[in-house]
């Protein structure tokens, strides 16, 4: 047998005592020591890692959504499209991840569910931040964060900013499309209410895409994003039903009944209703 190959022979550095290495840059000591199962249940590590990786992807989604919003507001629609595509791909990644969690059966989960106490994804401030940035702005969802002033302040600050959809409508107005004043000047801390006039604006965009190319592409990116987000919600509720049936959630909601209600949320209503008109 030939000698084992040694990459040092082609110049690979093998000694990192006085250099920044992979794990230093990525802070792997912190990340890989941040799993602290509360039971001896085999599947608790899966559960923790599934959530931690989801939270990391959500962190990136928030980063991309804020740059997309800034780009839209500044007229950089192409830059915004790139960020929004990335957010859709992140959701695709999160959607695929359910396949790993689905391998956990009800018998597996019940071995450690009690350890979770009243903690629940319902209290994920990053998830709420994504919903708020996209325009689903229920102020009641601030309350579970009252005990964490930093998260609460970040969510409150988000409610004071226009949503991604608000900035898209402002750009449509600046392009000469008749977005009503009451829509442009609405209280942005609330959820946007569907408007016939806004639907007519999108109808104009969709009927003559060549005249409104950038807005047309932006609209399709937003529909794409909402499409992936809906799949995430659907995968969640289906996994939950599969694992806990109709039991109440640890966060205190009805569980599947609550998550099914959330399937009705529409982020960009006129972008969906306009399709009936075309």
- Tell me the binding residues: 47-51, 109, 113, 236, 250
Residue 27: burial class (beta carbons within 10 Å; 0-12, 13-18, 19+): exposed
Widest pairwise Cα distance in the chain: 78
Distance CA 125, CA 23 (A): 28
- In the structure encoding, which two tokens stand for residue 182, read together? 């009451």
DSSP annotation string for 51-118: HHHHHHHHHHHHHHHHHHHHHHHTT-HHHHHHHHHHHHHHHHHHHHHHHHHTT--HHHHHTTGGGGTT
The span from the CA of 256 to the CA of 241, in Å, is 6
The CB-of-109 to ligand HEM minimum distance in angstroms stands at 6
For position 258 contacting ligand HEM by CB under 6 A, the verdict is: yes
Q: Which is nearer to ligand HEM, 26 or 246 (CB)?
A: 246
Measure Cα distances from 273 to 81, 197, 200 in Å. 22, 12, 10
How is the chain split among helix, strand and coil, in percent rounded to 5?
A: 70, 0, 30
- Report d(CA 38, CA 269) in Å as an integer: 42
Write the interaction track for ligand NFK spanning residues 104-133; mark x where CB under 6 A is met and - where it is not. Answer: ---------x--x--xxx------------
Residue 37 interacts with ligand NFK (CB under 6 A): yes or no = no
Can you give the length of the chain in residues? Answer: 278
Residue 119 binds which entry of ligand NFK, ligand HEM, none, with Cβ cut-offs from 5 to 8 Å by kind? Answer: ligand NFK
* 14/146 with CB nearer ligand HEM: 146
- The residue within the footprint of ligand HEM, chosen from 120, 173, 238, 273 (CB under 6 A), is 120
C-alpha 134/C-alpha 21 separation (Å) is 38
Q: In this complex, which beta carbon is closest to ligand NFK, that of residue 95 or of residue 273?
A: 95
Structural tokens at position 253? 């909601």
| Residue 172 and residue 143 in contact, taking contact as beta carbons nearer than 8 Å | no
Q: Residue positions in the annotated binding site for substrate?
A: 47-51, 109, 113, 250
Q: Site for ligand HEM (CB under 6 A): which residue of 31, 38, 262, 263? A: 262
Residue of the chain from 85, 111, 189, 253 that contacts ligand HEM (CB under 6 A)? 253
Using CB distances below 5 to 8 A depending on partner kind, what does residue 116 bind out of ligand NFK, ligand HEM, none?
ligand NFK
Rounded Cα distance between 78 and 80, Å, is: 5
Q: Which stretch binds ligand NFK (CB under 6 A): 74-82, 127-135, 193-201, 244-252?
A: 244-252
Site string for ligand HEM, 174-193 (x = CB under 6 A): --------------------
- Is 54 a binder of ligand HEM (CB under 6 A)? yes
- Based on CB atoms, which residue is closest to ligand HEM, 157 or 262? 262
The residue from 37, 76, 180, 251 that contacts ligand NFK (CB under 6 A) is 251
Residue showing tokens 């790139």: 82
**Between the CA of residue 16 and those of 19, 24, 31, what are the distances in Å?**
5, 10, 20
Residues that bind ligand NFK (CB under 6 A): 51, 113, 116, 119-121, 244, 249-251
Residues that bind ligand HEM (CB under 6 A): 50-51, 54, 101, 109, 120-122, 124, 127, 236, 239-240, 243-244, 249-253, 255, 258-259, 262
């Amino acid at each position: 047998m030939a000698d084992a190959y040694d990459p040092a022979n082609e110049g690979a550095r093998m000694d990192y005592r006085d250099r920044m290495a992979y794990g230093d840059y990525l802070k792997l000591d912190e990340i890989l020591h941040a799993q602290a199962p509360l039971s001896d249940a085999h599947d608790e590590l899966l559960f923790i890692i599934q959530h931690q990786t989801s939270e990391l992807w959500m962190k990136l989604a928030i980063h991309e959504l804020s740059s997309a919003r800034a780009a839209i507001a500044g007229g950089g629609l192409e830059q915004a499209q790139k960020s929004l595509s990335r957010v859709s791909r992140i959701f695709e990644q999160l959607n695929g991840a359910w396949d790993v969690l689905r391998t956990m059966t009800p018998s597996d989960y019940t071995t450690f569910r009690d350890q979770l106490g009243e903690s629940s994804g319902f209290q994920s401030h990053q998830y709420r931040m994504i919903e708020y940035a996209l325009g689903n702005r229920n102020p009641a969802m601030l309350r579970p964060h009252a005990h964490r002033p930093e998260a609460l302040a970040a969510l409150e600050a988000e409610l004071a900013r226009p949503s991604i959809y608000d900035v898209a409508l402002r750009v449509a107005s600046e392009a000469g499309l008749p977005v009503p004043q009451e829509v442009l000047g609405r209280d942005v801390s609330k959820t946007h209410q569907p408007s016939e006039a806004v639907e007519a604006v999108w109808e104009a965009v969709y009927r003559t895409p060549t005249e409104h190319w950038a807005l047309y592409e932006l609209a399709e990116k937003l529909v794409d994003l909402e499409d992936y987000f809906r799949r995430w919600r659907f995968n969640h509720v289906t996994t939950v039903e599969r694992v806990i049936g109709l039991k109440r959630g640890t966060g205190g909601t009805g569980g599947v009944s609550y998550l099914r209600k959330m399937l009705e949320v529409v982020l960009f209503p006129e972008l969906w209703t306009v399709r009936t008109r075309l």
